[in-house]
Protein backbone atom coordinates (compact mmCIF):
# COMPACT_ATOMS: atom_id res chain seq x y z
CA UNK A 1 0.00 0.00 0.00
CA UNK A 2 1.28 3.47 -0.94
CA UNK A 3 2.60 5.36 2.11
CA UNK A 4 0.25 8.25 1.47
CA UNK A 5 -2.76 5.98 1.15
CA UNK A 6 -1.83 4.78 4.63
CA UNK A 7 -1.83 8.39 5.81
CA UNK A 8 -5.26 8.86 4.25
CA UNK A 9 -6.59 5.94 6.24
CA UNK A 10 -5.07 7.27 9.44
CA UNK A 11 -6.72 10.66 8.96
CA UNK A 12 -9.96 8.90 8.06
CA UNK A 13 -9.90 7.02 11.36
CA UNK A 14 -9.40 10.17 13.43
CA UNK A 15 -11.61 12.82 11.77
CA UNK A 16 -12.11 16.22 13.37
CA UNK A 17 -14.71 18.87 12.63
CA UNK A 18 -13.95 22.49 11.75
CA UNK A 19 -11.76 24.37 14.25
CA UNK A 20 -11.13 21.12 16.18
CA UNK A 21 -8.52 19.55 13.84
CA UNK A 22 -5.77 19.34 16.45
CA UNK A 23 -4.65 15.72 16.04
CA UNK A 24 -4.80 16.16 12.27
CA UNK A 25 -2.67 19.32 12.39
CA UNK A 26 -0.17 17.82 14.81
CA UNK A 27 0.31 14.73 12.64
CA UNK A 28 0.65 16.79 9.46
CA UNK A 29 3.31 18.96 11.10
CA UNK A 30 5.13 15.96 12.55
CA UNK A 31 5.26 14.24 9.14
CA UNK A 32 6.34 17.42 7.35
CA UNK A 33 9.03 18.12 9.93
CA UNK A 34 10.35 14.62 9.36
CA UNK A 35 10.64 15.51 5.68
CA UNK A 36 12.74 18.56 6.49
CA UNK A 37 10.11 21.32 6.53
CA UNK A 38 9.68 24.06 9.09
CA UNK A 39 5.99 24.43 9.85
CA UNK A 40 3.80 27.29 10.96
CA UNK A 41 1.06 26.04 13.25
CA UNK A 42 -1.94 27.32 15.17
CA UNK A 43 -2.00 31.14 15.50
CA UNK A 44 0.99 31.35 13.15
CA UNK A 45 -0.99 29.52 10.46
CA UNK A 46 -4.41 31.13 10.93
CA UNK A 47 -5.58 34.57 11.99
CA UNK A 48 -7.71 33.76 15.02
CA UNK A 49 -9.38 37.19 14.89
CA UNK A 50 -10.93 36.10 11.59
CA UNK A 51 -12.79 33.20 13.20
CA UNK A 52 -16.43 34.12 13.73
CA UNK A 53 -17.96 33.95 17.20
CA UNK A 54 -20.48 31.29 16.20
CA UNK A 55 -17.80 28.78 15.16
CA UNK A 56 -14.98 29.83 17.47
CA UNK A 57 -13.96 27.12 19.97
CA UNK A 58 -13.77 28.22 23.59
CA UNK A 59 -10.81 27.43 25.83
CA UNK A 60 -12.55 24.42 27.37
CA UNK A 61 -13.17 22.85 23.94
CA UNK A 62 -9.64 23.64 22.80
CA UNK A 63 -8.24 21.89 25.86
CA UNK A 64 -10.47 18.87 25.25
CA UNK A 65 -9.40 18.75 21.59
CA UNK A 66 -5.73 18.84 22.59
CA UNK A 67 -6.20 16.12 25.21
CA UNK A 68 -8.06 13.92 22.75
CA UNK A 69 -5.33 14.40 20.15
CA UNK A 70 -2.66 13.15 22.54
CA UNK A 71 -4.84 10.24 23.68
CA UNK A 72 -5.21 9.26 20.00
CA UNK A 73 -1.49 9.11 19.34
CA UNK A 74 -0.51 12.64 18.37
CA UNK A 75 2.93 13.83 19.45
CA UNK A 76 2.40 16.08 22.52
CA UNK A 77 5.15 18.45 21.31
CA UNK A 78 3.25 19.22 18.12
CA UNK A 79 -0.11 19.30 19.89
CA UNK A 80 1.27 21.97 22.20
CA UNK A 81 2.46 24.01 19.21
CA UNK A 82 -1.13 24.30 17.97
CA UNK A 83 -2.10 26.30 21.08
CA UNK A 84 -5.57 24.89 20.50
CA UNK A 85 -5.88 26.21 16.94
CA UNK A 86 -5.67 23.98 13.84
CA UNK A 87 -3.94 24.67 10.55
CA UNK A 88 -0.45 24.09 9.15
CA UNK A 89 1.64 25.99 6.60
CA UNK A 90 4.87 24.67 5.09
CA UNK A 91 7.01 26.07 2.32
CA UNK A 92 9.75 24.86 0.03
CA UNK A 93 12.05 27.76 -0.79
CA UNK A 94 14.41 26.64 -3.51
CA UNK A 95 16.69 29.63 -2.95
CA UNK A 96 16.44 30.42 -6.65
CA UNK A 97 14.47 33.33 -8.01
CA UNK A 98 11.10 32.32 -9.39
CA UNK A 99 7.33 32.38 -8.92
CA UNK A 100 5.35 31.67 -5.77
CA UNK A 101 2.74 28.91 -5.95
CA UNK A 102 0.35 27.84 -3.20
CA UNK A 103 -1.67 24.66 -2.77
CA UNK A 104 -4.73 24.38 -0.49
CA UNK A 105 -5.64 21.09 1.22
CA UNK A 106 -8.71 21.08 3.48
CA UNK A 107 -8.38 18.97 6.63
CA UNK A 108 -11.75 19.04 8.42
CA UNK A 109 -14.64 16.58 8.22
CA UNK A 110 -18.42 16.44 8.55
CA UNK A 111 -20.56 16.06 11.70
CA UNK A 112 -21.86 12.57 10.98
CA UNK A 113 -21.52 9.19 12.64
CA UNK A 114 -19.74 6.86 10.21
CA UNK A 115 -21.44 3.47 9.76
CA UNK A 116 -19.88 0.56 11.62
CA UNK A 117 -21.21 -2.39 9.63
CA UNK A 118 -20.14 -5.43 7.69
CA UNK A 119 -19.54 -4.84 3.98
CA UNK A 120 -18.39 -1.24 4.45
CA UNK A 121 -14.66 -1.11 3.66
CA UNK A 122 -13.50 1.40 6.29
CA UNK A 123 -15.14 -0.76 8.96
CA UNK A 124 -14.01 -4.07 7.46
CA UNK A 125 -10.39 -2.88 7.16
CA UNK A 126 -10.20 -1.07 10.48
CA UNK A 127 -10.06 2.60 9.58
CA UNK A 128 -13.64 3.73 10.18
CA UNK A 129 -14.04 6.83 12.33
CA UNK A 130 -13.53 6.36 16.05
CA UNK A 131 -14.85 9.85 16.86
CA UNK A 132 -18.54 10.49 17.36
CA UNK A 133 -20.25 12.95 15.01
CA UNK A 134 -17.14 13.08 12.84
CA UNK A 135 -16.79 11.47 9.41
CA UNK A 136 -14.54 12.10 6.40
CA UNK A 137 -17.52 12.03 4.06
CA UNK A 138 -16.13 14.62 1.64
CA UNK A 139 -12.66 13.28 0.85
CA UNK A 140 -10.62 15.73 2.92
CA UNK A 141 -8.57 12.82 4.28
CA UNK A 142 -7.51 12.08 0.70
CA UNK A 143 -6.77 15.77 0.05
CA UNK A 144 -4.52 15.85 3.12
CA UNK A 145 -2.69 12.74 1.93
CA UNK A 146 -2.22 14.35 -1.50
CA UNK A 147 -0.64 17.36 0.19
CA UNK A 148 1.81 15.17 2.09
CA UNK A 149 2.62 13.30 -1.11
CA UNK A 150 3.39 16.56 -2.91
CA UNK A 151 5.54 17.67 0.04
CA UNK A 152 7.56 14.46 -0.20
CA UNK A 153 8.05 14.75 -3.95
CA UNK A 154 9.09 18.39 -3.63
CA UNK A 155 11.96 17.41 -1.34
CA UNK A 156 13.10 14.85 -3.89
CA UNK A 157 13.02 17.34 -6.76
CA UNK A 158 13.88 20.67 -5.10
CA UNK A 159 17.19 20.92 -6.97
CA UNK A 160 15.24 20.94 -10.23
CA UNK A 161 12.92 23.79 -9.23
CA UNK A 162 12.99 27.55 -8.68
CA UNK A 163 10.91 29.94 -6.61
CA UNK A 164 8.71 29.03 -3.63
CA UNK A 165 5.99 26.41 -3.23
CA UNK A 166 3.67 26.90 -0.23
CA UNK A 167 1.46 24.17 1.21
CA UNK A 168 -1.64 25.32 3.09
CA UNK A 169 -3.37 22.68 5.21
CA UNK A 170 -6.57 24.57 5.92
CA UNK A 171 -9.07 23.97 8.71
CA UNK A 172 -12.82 24.54 8.62
CA UNK A 173 -13.74 24.32 4.95
CA UNK A 174 -17.14 22.86 5.84
CA UNK A 175 -17.93 25.61 8.30
CA UNK A 176 -16.77 29.20 7.98
CA UNK A 177 -13.68 31.39 8.13
CA UNK A 178 -11.10 28.64 7.41
CA UNK A 179 -9.78 30.01 4.13
CA UNK A 180 -10.29 33.62 5.20
CA UNK A 181 -8.23 33.05 8.35
CA UNK A 182 -5.27 32.01 6.18
CA UNK A 183 -5.81 34.88 3.76
CA UNK A 184 -5.91 37.37 6.63
CA UNK A 185 -2.68 35.89 8.01
CA UNK A 186 -0.98 36.94 4.77
CA UNK A 187 -0.17 33.51 3.36
CA UNK A 188 -1.48 34.45 -0.09
CA UNK A 189 -0.21 38.03 -0.30
CA UNK A 190 2.68 37.14 -2.63
CA UNK A 191 1.14 34.12 -4.37
CA UNK A 192 1.07 34.17 -8.17
CA UNK A 193 -0.27 30.68 -8.84
CA UNK A 194 -2.86 28.78 -6.82
CA UNK A 195 -4.15 25.20 -7.01
CA UNK A 196 -6.80 23.50 -4.91
CA UNK A 197 -8.09 19.99 -5.56
CA UNK A 198 -11.20 18.09 -4.62
CA UNK A 199 -12.29 14.53 -5.28
CA UNK A 200 -15.74 13.59 -6.51
CA UNK A 201 -16.69 16.72 -8.41
CA UNK A 202 -18.54 16.50 -11.72
CA UNK A 203 -18.26 17.43 -15.39
CA UNK A 204 -21.08 17.88 -17.85
CA UNK A 205 -23.23 17.56 -14.70
CA UNK A 206 -22.18 13.92 -14.18
CA UNK A 207 -19.97 12.61 -11.36
CA UNK A 208 -16.28 12.22 -12.20
CA UNK A 209 -15.35 8.53 -11.87
CA UNK A 210 -11.85 7.14 -11.52
CA UNK A 211 -9.49 7.89 -14.42
CA UNK A 212 -11.07 11.28 -15.13
CA UNK A 213 -10.22 14.85 -14.26
CA UNK A 214 -11.62 18.34 -14.72
CA UNK A 215 -8.97 21.04 -14.96
CA UNK A 216 -10.99 23.73 -13.24
CA UNK A 217 -14.45 24.96 -12.27
CA UNK A 218 -16.20 28.28 -12.81
CA UNK A 219 -19.51 27.72 -11.05
CA UNK A 220 -18.63 28.39 -7.41
CA UNK A 221 -21.67 29.59 -5.50
CA UNK A 222 -21.46 32.13 -2.73
CA UNK A 223 -22.79 30.82 0.56
CA UNK A 224 -24.40 32.60 3.51
CA UNK A 225 -25.64 30.79 6.62
CA UNK A 226 -27.96 32.20 9.27
CA UNK A 227 -29.68 30.94 12.41
CA UNK A 228 -33.18 32.40 12.78
CA UNK A 229 -34.80 32.56 16.23
CA UNK A 230 -38.60 32.98 16.28
CA UNK A 231 -39.99 34.24 19.61
CA UNK A 232 -43.68 33.67 20.25
CA UNK A 233 -45.74 33.04 23.39
CA UNK A 234 -46.57 29.80 25.19
CA UNK A 235 -50.18 28.87 26.00
CA UNK A 236 -52.28 25.79 26.67
CA UNK A 237 -53.76 24.54 23.38
CA UNK A 238 -57.06 23.72 25.10
CA UNK A 239 -57.16 26.68 27.41
CA UNK A 240 -56.48 30.25 26.39
CA UNK A 241 -55.10 29.19 23.03
CA UNK A 242 -55.85 32.64 21.62
CA UNK A 243 -53.10 33.97 23.86
CA UNK A 244 -50.49 31.78 22.25
CA UNK A 245 -48.18 32.79 19.43
CA UNK A 246 -47.04 29.62 17.69
CA UNK A 247 -43.40 29.83 16.73
CA UNK A 248 -43.38 26.25 15.46
CA UNK A 249 -46.12 26.92 12.88
CA UNK A 250 -44.41 30.17 11.90
CA UNK A 251 -41.13 28.38 11.29
CA UNK A 252 -42.84 25.63 9.28
CA UNK A 253 -44.61 28.21 7.13
CA UNK A 254 -41.38 30.12 6.59
CA UNK A 255 -39.50 26.93 5.67
CA UNK A 256 -42.07 25.98 3.03
CA UNK A 257 -42.06 29.45 1.50
CA UNK A 258 -38.26 29.72 1.54
CA UNK A 259 -38.03 26.47 -0.40
CA UNK A 260 -40.45 27.92 -2.95
CA UNK A 261 -38.19 30.86 -3.88
CA UNK A 262 -38.05 31.01 -7.67
CA UNK A 263 -34.78 30.44 -9.56
CA UNK A 264 -32.95 33.34 -11.18
CA UNK A 265 -32.51 33.62 -14.93
CA UNK A 266 -28.89 34.80 -14.68
CA UNK A 267 -27.49 31.72 -12.98
CA UNK A 268 -27.64 29.19 -10.18
CA UNK A 269 -29.18 29.83 -6.79
CA UNK A 270 -29.82 27.39 -3.99
CA UNK A 271 -31.60 27.69 -0.64
CA UNK A 272 -32.02 25.15 2.13
CA UNK A 273 -33.55 24.99 5.59
CA UNK A 274 -31.30 22.34 7.07
CA UNK A 275 -32.58 22.24 10.66
CA UNK A 276 -35.71 23.26 12.55
CA UNK A 277 -36.14 22.91 16.30
CA UNK A 278 -39.16 24.18 18.18
CA UNK A 279 -41.32 23.92 21.26
CA UNK A 280 -41.00 23.01 24.91
CA UNK A 281 -43.75 20.39 25.54
CA UNK A 282 -46.36 18.31 23.72
CA UNK A 283 -49.22 20.10 25.47
CA UNK A 284 -47.93 23.66 25.01
CA UNK A 285 -48.12 26.03 22.05
CA UNK A 286 -44.50 26.42 20.95
CA UNK A 287 -43.11 29.75 22.15
CA UNK A 288 -39.84 29.49 20.25
CA UNK A 289 -38.24 27.99 17.17
CA UNK A 290 -34.79 27.81 15.64
CA UNK A 291 -34.24 27.53 11.88
CA UNK A 292 -30.86 27.06 10.22
CA UNK A 293 -30.90 28.49 6.70
CA UNK A 294 -28.31 28.45 3.95
CA UNK A 295 -28.61 30.33 0.67
CA UNK A 296 -26.25 30.47 -2.28
CA UNK A 297 -25.85 32.36 -5.54
CA UNK A 298 -23.56 32.17 -8.56
CA UNK A 299 -23.11 35.95 -8.65
CA UNK A 300 -23.44 38.81 -6.18
CA UNK A 301 -26.69 39.83 -7.91
CA UNK A 302 -28.19 36.37 -7.51
CA UNK A 303 -27.03 36.05 -3.90
CA UNK A 304 -28.61 39.41 -3.12
CA UNK A 305 -31.86 38.33 -4.78
CA UNK A 306 -32.08 35.13 -2.74
CA UNK A 307 -31.16 36.89 0.50
CA UNK A 308 -33.79 39.59 -0.01
CA UNK A 309 -36.48 36.99 -0.67
CA UNK A 310 -35.48 35.00 2.45
CA UNK A 311 -35.82 38.08 4.65
CA UNK A 312 -39.05 39.14 2.93
CA UNK A 313 -40.47 35.75 3.93
CA UNK A 314 -39.16 36.02 7.48
CA UNK A 315 -40.64 39.53 7.85
CA UNK A 316 -43.99 38.42 6.43
CA UNK A 317 -44.11 35.31 8.58
CA UNK A 318 -43.40 37.29 11.75
CA UNK A 319 -46.23 39.69 10.90
CA UNK A 320 -48.67 36.93 9.96
CA UNK A 321 -48.08 35.01 13.18
CA UNK A 322 -47.73 38.10 15.37
CA UNK A 323 -44.32 37.24 16.75
CA UNK A 324 -40.74 38.43 16.43
CA UNK A 325 -37.50 37.02 15.13
CA UNK A 326 -33.77 37.65 15.41
CA UNK A 327 -30.93 36.03 13.49
CA UNK A 328 -27.26 35.13 13.84
CA UNK A 329 -25.19 35.66 10.70
CA UNK A 330 -22.26 33.26 10.22
CA UNK A 331 -20.87 35.26 7.31
CA UNK A 332 -20.40 34.58 3.62
CA UNK A 333 -18.13 32.47 1.44
CA UNK A 334 -17.74 34.20 -1.96
CA UNK A 335 -18.34 32.94 -5.45
CA UNK A 336 -15.35 32.56 -7.76
CA UNK A 337 -13.97 31.24 -11.06
CA UNK A 338 -10.91 29.28 -12.10
CA UNK A 339 -8.58 30.88 -14.65
CA UNK A 340 -8.20 29.41 -18.14
CA UNK A 341 -4.43 29.92 -18.02
CA UNK A 342 -4.02 27.73 -14.94
CA UNK A 343 -6.55 25.21 -16.24
CA UNK A 344 -4.42 24.88 -19.37
CA UNK A 345 -1.36 24.09 -17.23
CA UNK A 346 -3.35 21.38 -15.44
CA UNK A 347 -4.58 20.02 -18.76
CA UNK A 348 -1.03 19.67 -20.07
CA UNK A 349 0.05 18.04 -16.81
CA UNK A 350 -2.83 15.53 -16.92
CA UNK A 351 -2.08 14.51 -20.52
CA UNK A 352 1.28 13.12 -19.35
CA UNK A 353 -0.39 10.68 -16.89
CA UNK A 354 -1.95 7.48 -18.30
CA UNK A 355 -4.23 7.12 -15.24
CA UNK A 356 -6.26 10.09 -16.49
CA UNK A 357 -8.04 8.52 -19.45
CA UNK A 358 -10.64 11.29 -19.84
CA UNK A 359 -9.78 14.96 -19.38
CA UNK A 360 -12.50 17.61 -19.09
CA UNK A 361 -11.27 21.16 -19.39
CA UNK A 362 -14.09 22.57 -17.25
CA UNK A 363 -16.10 20.82 -14.57
CA UNK A 364 -18.75 21.58 -11.98
CA UNK A 365 -18.34 22.39 -8.29
CA UNK A 366 -22.05 21.98 -7.78
CA UNK A 367 -21.90 24.11 -4.64
CA UNK A 368 -19.47 26.10 -2.52
CA UNK A 369 -15.87 25.84 -1.38
CA UNK A 370 -13.98 28.58 0.41
CA UNK A 371 -11.02 27.88 -1.86
CA UNK A 372 -12.87 30.44 -4.01
CA UNK A 373 -11.84 33.13 -1.51
CA UNK A 374 -8.21 32.10 -2.00
CA UNK A 375 -8.55 32.11 -5.78
CA UNK A 376 -10.10 35.60 -5.59
CA UNK A 377 -7.20 36.80 -3.44
CA UNK A 378 -4.59 35.46 -5.86
CA UNK A 379 -6.46 37.00 -8.80
CA UNK A 380 -6.44 40.34 -6.97
CA UNK A 381 -2.62 39.96 -6.87
CA UNK A 382 -2.63 39.64 -10.66
CA UNK A 383 -2.14 35.87 -10.38
CA UNK A 384 -4.07 32.82 -11.59
CA UNK A 385 -5.68 29.87 -9.86
CA UNK A 386 -7.82 26.82 -10.36
CA UNK A 387 -9.95 24.31 -8.50
CA UNK A 388 -9.26 20.85 -9.91
CA UNK A 389 -11.66 17.92 -9.80
CA UNK A 390 -9.91 14.57 -9.32
CA UNK A 391 -12.12 11.73 -10.52
CA UNK A 392 -12.64 8.78 -8.21
CA UNK A 393 -15.15 5.97 -7.91
CA UNK A 394 -17.11 6.36 -4.68
CA UNK A 395 -19.41 4.19 -2.61
CA UNK A 396 -21.82 7.10 -2.10
CA UNK A 397 -21.93 10.78 -3.10
CA UNK A 398 -20.05 13.29 -0.96
CA UNK A 399 -21.79 14.29 2.28
CA UNK A 400 -23.20 10.81 2.67
CA UNK A 401 -22.03 9.03 5.86
CA UNK A 402 -21.06 5.95 3.80
CA UNK A 403 -18.78 7.86 1.42
CA UNK A 404 -15.54 6.08 0.53
CA UNK A 405 -13.30 6.46 -2.50
CA UNK A 406 -10.86 4.81 -4.89
CA UNK A 407 -7.50 5.50 -3.28
CA UNK A 408 -5.65 5.20 -6.59
CA UNK A 409 -6.61 8.82 -7.15
CA UNK A 410 -4.10 9.94 -4.49
CA UNK A 411 -0.81 9.10 -6.27
CA UNK A 412 -2.36 10.26 -9.57
CA UNK A 413 -3.14 13.67 -8.05
CA UNK A 414 0.37 13.95 -6.63
CA UNK A 415 1.90 13.20 -10.04
CA UNK A 416 -0.44 15.73 -11.64
CA UNK A 417 0.68 18.51 -9.33
CA UNK A 418 4.36 17.71 -9.77
CA UNK A 419 3.91 17.89 -13.54
CA UNK A 420 2.26 21.29 -13.16
CA UNK A 421 5.07 22.49 -10.88
CA UNK A 422 7.65 21.34 -13.37
CA UNK A 423 6.11 23.71 -15.92
CA UNK A 424 5.67 26.61 -13.49
CA UNK A 425 8.85 26.23 -11.42
CA UNK A 426 11.20 24.28 -13.65
CA UNK A 427 14.67 25.75 -14.07
CA UNK A 428 14.74 27.39 -17.49
Domain ranges of the chain: 3-220+337-425, 222-333
Task: Report the C-alpha gap between 61 and 221 in whole angstroms.
Answer: 31
Q: Look at residues 333, 344, 417, 340 and name the one whose alpha carbon lies nearest to residue 372.
A: 333
pTM of this structure: 0.94
- The stretch 180-202 carries a mean pLDDT of 98
pLDDT of residue 366: 81
**Interhelix angle for 140-157 vs 22-35, to 10°?**
20
Contacts of 227 (CB under 8 A, 6+ apart): 54, 290, 291, 292, 293, 327, 328, 330
In sign, the C-alpha dihedral spanning 22, 388, 10, 111 is positive
Q: Are 419 and 93 in contact (CB under 8 A)?
A: no
The whole-number pLDDT of residue 205 equals: 87
What class has domain 3-220+337-425?
A: alpha beta
Instruction: Please say if the pLDDT value at position 293 is more than 80.
Output: yes
Mean pLDDT of 339-353: 98
Alpha helices in 158-271 (DSSP H): 178-184, 247-258
pLDDT tens digit sequence for 384-410: 999 999 999 999 999 999 999 999 999
Regarding beta strands 193-199 and 212-214, do their DSSP bridges make them parallel or antiparallel, or are they unpaired?
A: unpaired
Q: What is the pLDDT of residues 17-68, one digit of tens each?
A: 999 999 999 999 999 999 999 999 999 999 999 999 999 999 999 999 999 9
Topology agreement, domain 3-220+337-425 and domain 222-333: no
pLDDT in tens, 60-119: 999 999 999 999 999 999 999 999 999 999 999 999 999 999 999 999 999 999 999 999
pLDDT at site 239: 86
CA distance 280 to 290: 12
Give the list of residues 6+ apart from residue 18 with CB closer than 8 angstroms, or none: 55, 108, 171, 172, 173, 174, 175, 176, 178
Q: Is 162 helix (H, G, I), strand (E, B) or coil?
A: coil
Nearest residue to 168 (alpha-carbon basis) of 69, 89, 261, 54:
89
Query: Closest by alpha carbon to 398, among 208, 139, 175?
Result: 139
222-333 is a CATH 3.30.70.360 domain: yes
SS3 content of the chain, % helix, strand, coil (to 5): 35, 25, 40
Give Rg (Cα) of the chain.
Answer: 23
Per the rule left: phi > 0, alpha: psi between -120 and 50, beta: everything else, 397 is beta
Q: Can you tell me the distance from the alpha carbon of 290 to that of 277, in angstroms, rounded to the nearest whole number? A: 5
Amino acid sequence: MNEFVQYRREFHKYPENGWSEIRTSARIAEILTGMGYSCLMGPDAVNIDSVGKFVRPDEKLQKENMERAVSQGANPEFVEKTKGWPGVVAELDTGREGPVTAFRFDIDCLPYDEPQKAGYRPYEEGYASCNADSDHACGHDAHTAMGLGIASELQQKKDQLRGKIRLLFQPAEETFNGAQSMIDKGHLDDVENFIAMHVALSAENRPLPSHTICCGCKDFLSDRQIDVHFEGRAAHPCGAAQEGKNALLAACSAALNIHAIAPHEEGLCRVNVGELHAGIAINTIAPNALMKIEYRGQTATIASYVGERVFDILDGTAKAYDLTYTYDDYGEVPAGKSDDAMMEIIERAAKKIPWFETIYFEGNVGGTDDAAAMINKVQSNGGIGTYVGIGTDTTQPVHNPEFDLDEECIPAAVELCMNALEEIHGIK
